[in-house]
Structure 1
Amino acid sequence: MIENRWWDATRDRRLVVQRCPCGHAQHYPRELCTRCGGTDLEFADASGRGTVDSFTVVHRAPSPDAEVPYTVARVRLAEGPIILTHLDGPGPWTCDEPVRLGWRPLPDGRHLPVFTKDA
């Protein structure tokens, strides 16, 4: 499955986006280019830089093991695509704030991409 290739890259702490020969970059991974419908997509490393597009602070845990509060955000990557992610570190957060990539380890060896303030 195509999304497995994305998750496999996180094992090496690599954030990848799909690129199409038409010049379009996209995230989340799909079988078709969302601009031209092409199928000749390749994964390319992202820079790890972006800006906060929108965010919300969650104060009510969706499960007993979730630590609150936490911040969920849309981050527009420097390459163009938007990724839904967590913001790590102290607030306050603002829209259009520059952020950089960090990683949170998962029990199976993969890593979850998270973003922190870009100092």
Structure 2
Amino acid sequence: MDQRPGGKISTPSRAEILRYSAAQCAGQSAEKRIADGNRRQSGNCIVTKRPPTPTPETQPYWDGAKVGELRLQRCADCGDAYSPPRPFCPACHSRDVRWFKASGRATLYSYVINHRPRADWPRQPHSIAIVELAEGPRLVSNIVGIPQTPADLKIDMPLQVVFEKLSDDIYLPVFAPAAPSVTVDNP
């Protein structure tokens, strides 16, 4: 965010961020840019992909992910579970919200397969999915641990959260096919 003329505060647009990032790379050698970590190709310059920065509202979410828990918020007044984190309930606008550990179970609601990801992306192609959590909210995530084909990615398939390490402090929830449940018939 920055201060605009007239005292207005605004968030820079994606184009402003890319222009600024490209200007930052000007004059750096390719070796320096590649050695600096995760990268994304933008025109003739490679710009940094940064992990999310936790805010006071999202810190419990990231703390949970770091210890292998998917944490959501639930309204104490109406009982609605929701994501992304915010200081009020999106259903009834109550500020009496609480964090809880979600089950991590989900189903595949929708997806697209990205066949032209960034050159440094470890999974090519990869899915960009909307998963519906057992608790109700839907999240945008990735599906891992399965071939990224329409034959393998089935709508309503059961999924389980797993966590991908982005940095020492940030673990990203992604989803893998859930292990089939075992039933035992007693004679």
TM-score of the alignment, normalized to the shorter chain, above 0.5: yes
* TM-score with structure 2 setting the length: 0.60
**Letter of the structure 2 residue corresponding to residue 100 of structure 1:** Q
In the TM superposition, structure 1's runs of 4+ consecutive aligned residues that sit over 2 Å from their partners are none
Which range is displaced more, 28-37 or 3-12?
Answer: 3-12
Q: 1:65 maps to which residue?
A: 120
1:108 matched to 2:149? The reply is no
Corresponding residue SS for 2:59: helix
Corresponding residue SS for 2:58: helix
Distance 1:90 1:55 in 2: 14
Distance 1:8 1:98 in 2: 25
Which range is displaced more, 64-73 or 18-27?
Answer: 64-73
Asked if the contact 2:108–2:129 (Cα under 8 Å) also holds between the matched residues in 1, the reply is: yes
CA drift at 1:17: 0.7
Identity %: 35
Distance 2:113 2:58 in 1: 27
Cα-Cα RMSD: 1.2
Distance 1:115 1:58 in 2: 16
Q: 1:47 maps to which residue?
A: 103
Q: 1:93 maps to which residue?
A: 153
Distance 1:75 1:38 in 2: 26
Distance 2:168 2:125 in 1: 25
* TM-score with structure 1 setting the length: 0.92
CA drift at 1:76: 0.5
1:12 matched to 2:67? The reply is yes
Distance 2:90 2:146 in 1: 35
Distance 1:105 1:81 in 2: 23
Distance 1:107 1:35 in 2: 33
- Please say which structure displays the higher CA radius of gyration: 2
Higher helix share: 2
Distance 1:38 1:93 in 2: 38
The one of the two structures with greater contact order (alpha-carbon pairs below 8 A, sep at least 6) is 1
Higher strand share: 1
Number of aligned residues: 118
Corresponding residue SS for 1:8: helix
Which range is displaced more, 21-30 or 103-112?
Answer: 103-112
**Letter of the structure 2 residue corresponding to residue 45 of structure 1:** K
Distance 1:73 1:47 in 2: 19
Structure 2 unaligned residues grouped into runs of 5+: 1-55, 180-187
